[in-house]
Amino acid sequence: MLPNPTLDQLQVFVAVAEAGSFSAAARRLNRAQSVVSYTIANLEAQLQLALFDRSARNPVLTAAGRGILEDARRMMADLDTLRARASSLTQGLEAEVHLGVSVLVPEHVTVDVLRRFQETFPNVALRLTTGSPFRVIDMVHKGQLSLGIGGQSPRDLEDVASERIGLSFMAAMAAPDHALAKAGRRLLLADVREETQIVVADDTGVTGNNDFNVFSRRAWRVSDMGTKRQLLIAGLGWGGMPLSVVAHDITEGRLVQLDVEPYEPIDMPVEAQWPRALPPGPAGRWLLEQYRQSLSHCPTSLGTALQKMAPADTAPQDAAAVLLAGE
């Protein structure tokens, strides 16, 4: 078996290839030219390959040398990443952040925050989970997330710390060709009682498996908000949806907001949550603050938002969608 090249040999090889000569590489590395030549000769002997053609005045990479150069550069880049990560860890920076974001948070907010995160913490790995507020708080409770951005956490979860950082809105929705949408009036409890209501089931037990705002005798329970949205668009029922999730569906006519007497639009707090025994590190705290700043631009109540933002000829549901989508 051939001996493995050392990182020093690869560094010298890259320097010669980039500098164009042994003497220039020696100056760059602050070494004697003879040491550089000897290092390259040893590397070629170990690989049993001629990396440079020395027939000309300056060494020229051979075909084999060009191929090895890309591998050497990649290994040098990996080494730089390792050094940067080690330096970050000595300063208390997390090696990885496990972030959970619920569907209550508009997608464009998360994309913008994570774009800035990548620029600010290039050496911190990220693991992102999205889903229902139930799932996010359950994962925080189980210690599976460094930071959760979700709904309001139950107060009896003593091992979870939380902080309110924003507000979302939940309203009743249906497809425009659904019988409830065609009624053209305020809907009473009797109107929705016999219509199928699509509900996201809490399979985590966070809510104690209690039903909230379920008014229909016929309820379909699904596992996630994405499935619920698709069923609503297909006209298979009605149900509450975060406006941040269905904003484009409303403005593009796939869903309409229903005026249901027992189902008033709900103001839903958005909280940052983390394990109380393991508070977020520098990168996690940065994410929390960025979400706080981004969500602070949302209105404090749905009614106020519509009054301030809706033009006279704009339907309330359209104004809410445009506002909450940040467009």
Instruction: Verify that 34 and 100 share a domain, yes or no.
Output: no
Instruction: Verify that 232 and 277 share a domain, yes or no.
Output: yes
Query: For 276-310, how does the pLDDT look when each residue is reduced to its tens digit (9 = 90+)?
Result: 888 888 999 999 999 999 887 654 444 444 443 34
Place of tokens 């929390």: 288
Query: For 169-221, how does the pLDDT look when each residue is reduced to its tens digit (9 = 90+)?
Result: 888 999 999 999 999 899 999 999 999 999 988 665 555 455 567 888 889 99
Instruction: Verify that 164 and 261 share a domain, yes or no.
Output: yes
Instruction: Verify that 108 and 251 share a domain, yes or no.
Output: yes
State how far the Cα of 213 lies from the Cα of 228, in Å rounded to an integer.
Answer: 15
Instruction: Verify that 181 and 197 share a domain, yes or no.
Output: yes
Residue 68: CA atoms inside 13 Å, Cβ hemisphere, count?
A: 24
Query: For 81-128, how does the pLDDT look when each residue is reduced to its tens digit (9 = 90+)?
Result: 676 566 555 557 888 999 999 888 888 889 999 999 999 999 899 999
Residue that is last in its domain, among 64, 90, 116? 90
Using CA atoms, how far residue 207 sits from 156, 196, 212, 223, 230, in Å, is 10, 22, 9, 15, 24
pLDDT surpasses 80 at 35: yes
- The reported pTM is 0.57
For residue 322, the model assigns a pLDDT of 39
Residue that is last in its domain, among 43, 62, 90? 90
Residue that is last in its domain, among 41, 74, 90? 90
Domain count, the chain: 2
Instruction: Verify that 133 and 239 share a domain, yes or no.
Output: yes
The beta strand positions in the chain, using DSSP E, are 52-53, 60-61, 96-102, 125-131, 147-150, 160-174, 197-200, 219-222, 239-242, 256-257, 266-275
Tokens linked to 13? 């090889």
- Average pLDDT in the chain: 82
Residue range(s) defining the domain that contains residue 153: 96-324
